[in-house]
Structure 1
Amino acid sequence: MLPDEIISEVLSPALQVPDELFCDTSHVSPFSTYAPSTSTYLVVCKDWLRVATPLLYNVVVLRSKSQATALEAALKSNPELGRFIKKLRLEGGYGAAIHGILKCAPNITDLFLTLSIWSPDNTTGLCKGLALIEPHRVILVDPCEPAPPKNKQEEALRRTFLACLCSWKNLRIFGYPYGSENVWEPTIARNARELSQTLVDSQVHTVLLSASFSHIPSFITKLCTSPSLKVLQFKHPLLFDVEMNNEDAKFKKLAKYSRLSRKDHHHPVDPDITPSLNPRFVPMESASPETRDIVGKRILFFAMYVEELRSPAFSRRPTDTHPSRLPILSVSKYFNRIGLPCLWESVQLTYCSAPGIRARLEQRPDLASFILRVYTSVQYIDYNRDQHEAILSICRHATGLEIFAPFKHRFLEAPIEFFSLLGQTAGHSLRELLIGVQCPSSFSTALLQPFTALRVLNLQIYGYRDEPVQKPYTHSEVLDQVHTLHIQDPLLDLFVNTNFGSLHTVKLPSYVQDTTLVTEFMATHGEKLRHLTLDTTVCNPDRFNLSSCPNLVELEIVDFAWDLTQLFSGTPHQSLTKVITKAAPNQTSVINDRKLRSKTKAPGFDPAMFPALREIQVRRLIWPVSEREISKSTDVTVAEALLRKNIKLTNFEGKAWVPRLKR
């Protein structure tokens, strides 16, 4: 058994709320994330419950009426819990329950309060309860945009709050919500002047200014007349002209800030490196050359951020966090030798960079053996242009190339001769190929024969109009190794009966002239598939039959409008666990409401046909972050209906909806 002190040290990092988050005045609350509640730690065992309860109640964040009601009920059933509350963050009014909470929490020292109150919210309980506490620090939020329309609840809270500022005897620190940009809005400027006048009459000695300031407005200089004020703390640096244009001696005495010139730029600070006591020291001098090379290459792998550069989306331009890698190669001949493979592993070809890379390879042909990945932003190859000739020359040298792919979302369109060139020079090593081929006549899998190491193929063909793809179909032993295939319409006819022994991931064309080809392709290869991407509009009939791919685990649908009822299986599909889409399912097919279905004639979704389905990820889904937005969101309605079917609805980050507490 561990003593309580050690258990507390173990649980504190998981249960404690950082003060920076508690005081965060951003428009989007830092607590609007969708993560499991930390209260789950309390149900591990009785020892954890006893030790973790004070830690859990130390900082309380309320973001909905149901949370406030649940907390009030807990405090009424066990009044001792209220004594643990030291910090309270309220992001709304939340009705009469707040009065009961404040009455049971006499030890509150820090209060976070917002004046962004929308008319359905009720501040009666909060207005009654503010006078019951004696906070030491108060952080106030009064957003300019989006601001709720003027209403009685907000006015009542504002008047009560200003009255409490003068009556709170322990108040020492106040978070001021207004900045210089609020001067131009008459209502906000009036509220700022009223607040400043009230603070002059209060006991506060430190005012925290978290807003930005391009000049010092009058409601800030008004604060300097407070007899109790000791510090005006600016969160953001002030420009030199803000300081020089202010002649108030009291302001200069109270203000605490850092200076910033308009011409200042952020430069990385060189670390202080202690010089070696022995300048002739050789690291790992006693180790063998092979061991030194292994360790040195591993160090430079991270120092030259090789892993990051393997992503085509990673910027090749030096930044503060990822400076130029060339100085590393200048440290010594040893660093130059073991660092060159890291420098040349991933190459990005553009119209500007290709000539320079070509010239370097002509001087040092041995460097081409280090090139394993080529990413290009060039959209087409033209043999008559110098820049394109440079790209061709580089590809001729890179005989060990493993990946040839476009940069970000661009796609290279190249003549059939360039496609053949890649096969001749790097066909034995190329594992991943993403390319569009200008093919004026027919295309056959025989053109892929040189690519003996191919694993990922993303292929498009352009140029011909009336001529069909070449038949009869060829059975390629090379394509037997391909496990990921992305193809367009003309190639679907070619690959219907092609041998793919390792295929498990397929992206079908978004447009198919002959929809029967989709059915034939799935009949041939469907049993192998684990991951499938398709546009359901290419299917005939409208409902896509998953019976042909019984082992499918993940299905991605690229339609902007789709519904769960489009998924069909003759027998229960035992493998499908995840569906990825661009739009959320229609609520009429998810919600078990007969009246709603009768109006829309929606057949409804039967989860019994997909017993393994556990997640529907929506790429364009953004979860609401406030109680008001949640109440209006149809996505929340769909998510909670799916949860009752044991299916999670997740957003583009893979974060699932976590329902708020219910009464």
Structure 2
Amino acid sequence: MSMDVDTRRMNGDLLPEKVLEQILKANLCIDVDLFNDVSDDAFAKFEESSAAYVAVCRSWSRVAIPWLYETAIVRSTSQARVLANTLEKNPELGCYMKKLRVEGGYGQYMLTILKRTPNISHLSLSMDIWDPDTTEGLCSGLSLINPSCLALRDTGVCKGNEVVKKLVGALDVALVEWKNLTVFVSPYIDNAGCAGDVIASMSVFRRLQTVVVRNKRGAQWAYSNFIPCPLKSVRVMAPPTGKEDMGNDRLQALLTYDMAPDAPVIETIIPRKSRRFVPMAGQTEQLQDYIWSRILYFALEVEERRDGLYRNNYQKTGPSAYGYRQRVDPLLVSTRFLRLGIPHFYDTLLVPSRDDILEQYFPSYLYVEHLTARQIGTVSRFSMPQIAIPDTMISSLARSSGRTLVDLGLNLGHHNTINALELEQLPQLRVLRLRGHVRAGPVGEFRPHMLPRLEKLCVNGATNSFAQAVARMSLPCLSSLTFVFPATSPIKPGISGAEAAQSLLADVLKIHGDKLTQLTVNSFDIVSGATIDDCPKLEKIYLLLGPGMRPPRLGLLAPPRKNHLQLINIVLLPDLPPDYPLPVWFGSADSSSRRRPRALISPCPAAEWSDFLTQLDAATRTLLALQQVTFAWLAWPTTERDIAAEPWLPEHKILEALKVKLVDKNGKCWRARLI
């Protein structure tokens, strides 16, 4: 009996079909506004296909198929071919289809699709069609359907293209028979782009009742072109920007807007009428100090400023600005607020540029060392990555805030050095980030007990002396190491920069490699086998490719003397960013950017990257835990045309066979959905 129940549970039979239908409907149905989106990447998602729901079990397949085939998004010739073949073999599936979005021409396959989908009510077409794509099938099949809604996408880049002209002509002819067409989703603002004849025909046939536009200007253009039509609404896909005066009473009456979500209502706190009211009167001074200190902790945005230290969110405008005046006002309320707020005020100091020094922290134009030498004894995080520090800066910080500093980022420039005495005064330091010409004082003065709590050490511009100093310290808590040597200048006399860097890196890793879980180095600083063998706990390695953008030599990284069981991710970076603080390197992950992503292969020949992908075969034989390789400076191309322009992409088949994922800067795995 229990076996039957387990079998039914595995098959999904215990879930009532009504409930299952609602679950699958919510996951498979595509919102009409998203379907009509005129952008080119609305459906450019490198995610698992929704068809996976059908493969769960028979009951899921039975319930999911109608919702799966209700909407079809065709973004490439291969997708059109697969859909056409599926509808040919299973004609009943075409009856489910009500919405069809076509982002190209896709040849004769579109004729087969339109023949098998008589119930299309929403049709979305693109006017951006590039050679050698063709529209013969699409043009021939338009007369076979009778949609109620037509959406166009037209950026104007293919205006004058012959295949686009043929599509416009076929649309113009089909409009004669499209008597159900009452809704038009327009991409146009002030002209009809490629579809001038189509717009004129829709106006002549007088069937449109609803026009959907992008903004106010688009509404005015649409109304002027469709005056003869019995319009009931002109919908603007944006919230109103205030009192909208369209200059036309009829248009004003027809307008509807997509309203922005209501802002949360904050209840107004009415102050007491008595002016003698004292908060927490009668409570102990200790309790009052504790409560007011916590209030000031949030009022002075301590957590936000700590987060901004890594994310570079310090802006001069906006609600998250961390300006001097904005944060000093609470300290002026009372002597209690001043006493309790000073530690929070100086908790985190970021000095990104010289202008910010003067504007945010030093209104009386004091130098940094003067400020740190005064009353700041509570700084826990200090970052000054862009400006070379004054000569006495490190010693001033160590004296005034050495017992509280947990995160320190400095630009040493070309003349400053790190001395053992200064590091010895930083017993709580957990993160140390240095850039410039990073030199150490007398190496013999560095002792194993220094920096006992250091977890992350990030050095961009290490020298021979500093590498030797790091090797002399035990650093028992160290788990993340960034050690980047100068790419050109020699580090040791008489030895090339590359050879010296390899030797110094090997020395550092022999001492600290067994503790590391994350490592960042120049790809050309890797010594064959030693890097991995000395880091048995390493889970992620960042390899800086340098100006030539040449792939790393996996032959040096991969063949250790024994199998590596921990390394999961190899991240390839073009170089450390100019704003440097670490560990955030990846830049913006904004998927809404319309800019063409930077090509992977430039300026390095594509053949070298093909060889790199081939080398992964040998690498995975010893890197047993390797799951992905991340290209941290590019986003995957999202259209069939852009993919064709990347000659190295067909090599993804090697990775799929090895089960190694290829990941872009947005964390998206490459999927061969469009090829």
Q: Given the two structures, how large is their TM-score scaled by the length of structure 2?
A: 0.76
**CA distance in structure 2 between the aligned counterparts of 1:202 and 1:215, rounded to whole angstroms:** 18
**CA distance in structure 1 between the aligned counterparts of 2:300 and 2:327, rounded to whole angstroms:** 21
Instruction: Give 3-state SS (helix, strand or coil) of 1:644's partner.
Output: helix
> In the TM superposition, what is the alpha-carbon distance from 1:438 to its structure 2 partner?
7.1
Q: Who is 2:400 aligned against? A: 425
Q: Who is 2:442 aligned against? A: 470
Whether 1:608 and 2:621 are equivalent positions in the alignment is: yes
> In the TM superposition, what is the alpha-carbon distance from 1:31 to its structure 2 partner?
0.3
Whether 1:413 and 2:403 are equivalent positions in the alignment is: no
> In the TM superposition, what is the alpha-carbon distance from 1:207 to its structure 2 partner?
2.7
Whether 1:368 and 2:342 are equivalent positions in the alignment is: yes
Contact 2:300 2:327 (C-alpha < 8 Å) held by counterparts: no
Q: Who is 1:489 aligned against? A: 462
Letter in 2 for 1:195: I
1:17 to 30, 53, 59: 30
**CA distance in structure 2 between the aligned counterparts of 1:323 and 1:428, rounded to whole angstroms:** 29
Q: Who is 2:672 aligned against? A: 659
Q: Who is 2:560 aligned against? A: 570
Whether 1:552 and 2:538 are equivalent positions in the alignment is: yes
Whether 1:138 and 2:150 are equivalent positions in the alignment is: yes
Q: Who is 2:42 aligned against? A: 30
**CA distance in structure 2 between the aligned counterparts of 1:422 and 1:253, rounded to whole angstroms:** 64
> In the TM superposition, what is the alpha-carbon distance from 1:607 to its structure 2 partner?
3.2
Instruction: Give 3-state SS (helix, strand or coil) of 1:425's partner.
Output: helix
Whether 1:204 and 2:238 are equivalent positions in the alignment is: no
Whether 1:173 and 2:183 are equivalent positions in the alignment is: yes
Paired residue total: 599
Q: Who is 2:167 aligned against? A: 157
**CA distance in structure 2 between the aligned counterparts of 1:442 and 1:209, rounded to whole angstroms:** 62
Mapping of residues 250-289 of structure 1, within 5 Å: 252=251, 256=255, 271=265, 273=267
CA offsets 1:322-379 (integer angstroms, 9 cap, x no match): 489xxxxxxxxxxxxxxxxxxxxxx766xx8899999999993442233432222355
Letter in 2 for 1:485: L
Whether 1:527 and 2:514 are equivalent positions in the alignment is: yes
Q: Who is 1:42 aligned against? A: 54
Letter in 2 for 1:562: R
Contact 2:75 2:640 (C-alpha < 8 Å) held by counterparts: yes
In structure 2, the gaps of 5 or more residues are 1-13, 493-499, 575-599
Q: Who is 2:73 aligned against? A: 61
CA offsets 1:285-330 (integer angstroms, 9 cap, x no match): 9x999999999999998898654443223346664xx489xxxxxx
Contact 1:589 1:605 (C-alpha < 8 Å) held by counterparts: no
Letter in 2 for 1:570: P
Distance 1:443 1:298, change over 3 A: closer
**CA distance in structure 2 between the aligned counterparts of 1:532 and 1:149, rounded to whole angstroms:** 53
**CA distance in structure 2 between the aligned counterparts of 1:463 and 1:630, rounded to whole angstroms:** 43
Instruction: Give 3-state SS (helix, strand or coil) of 1:213's partner.
Output: helix
Letter in 2 for 1:533: T
Contact 1:196 1:220 (C-alpha < 8 Å) held by counterparts: no
CA offsets 1:441-463 (integer angstroms, 9 cap, x no match): 86432321111111111134769
Contact 2:634 2:665 (C-alpha < 8 Å) held by counterparts: yes
Instruction: Give 3-state SS (helix, strand or coil) of 2:125's partner.
Output: strand
> In the TM superposition, what is the alpha-carbon distance from 1:273 to its structure 2 partner?
4.3
Q: Who is 1:224 aligned against? A: 227
Letter in 2 for 1:548: D
Contact 2:524 2:552 (C-alpha < 8 Å) held by counterparts: no
Q: Who is 1:339 aligned against? A: none
Distance 1:524 1:425, change over 3 A: same
Contact 2:210 2:233 (C-alpha < 8 Å) held by counterparts: yes
**CA distance in structure 2 between the aligned counterparts of 1:274 and 1:384, rounded to whole angstroms:** 36
**CA distance in structure 2 between the aligned counterparts of 1:501 and 1:272, rounded to whole angstroms:** 49
**CA distance in structure 2 between the aligned counterparts of 1:385 and 1:169, rounded to whole angstroms:** 71
Q: Who is 2:570 aligned against? A: 579
> In the TM superposition, what is the alpha-carbon distance from 1:173 to its structure 2 partner?
0.9
> In the TM superposition, what is the alpha-carbon distance from 1:77 to its structure 2 partner?
2.7
Alignment RMSD (CA, Å)? 4.6
Letter in 1 for 2:450: V
Contact 2:381 2:407 (C-alpha < 8 Å) held by counterparts: yes
Letter in 2 for 1:535: N
In structure 1, the gaps of 5 or more residues are 260-265, 325-346
Distance 1:384 1:394, change over 3 A: closer
Letter in 2 for 1:311: D
**CA distance in structure 2 between the aligned counterparts of 1:165 and 1:610, rounded to whole angstroms:** 61
Mapping of residues 278-427 of structure 1, within 5 Å: 307-312=303-308, 313-315=312-314, 319=318, 322=319, 364-370=338-344, 371-379=346-354, 386-389=364-367, 392-393=370-371, 396-406=374-384, 410-427=385-402
Distance 1:150 1:443, change over 3 A: closer
CA offsets 1:544-585 (integer angstroms, 9 cap, x no match): 853332332211122232324344333343332211123558
> In the TM superposition, what is the alpha-carbon distance from 1:159 to its structure 2 partner?
1.0
- Taking only the aligned residue pairs, the percentage that are identical comes to 24
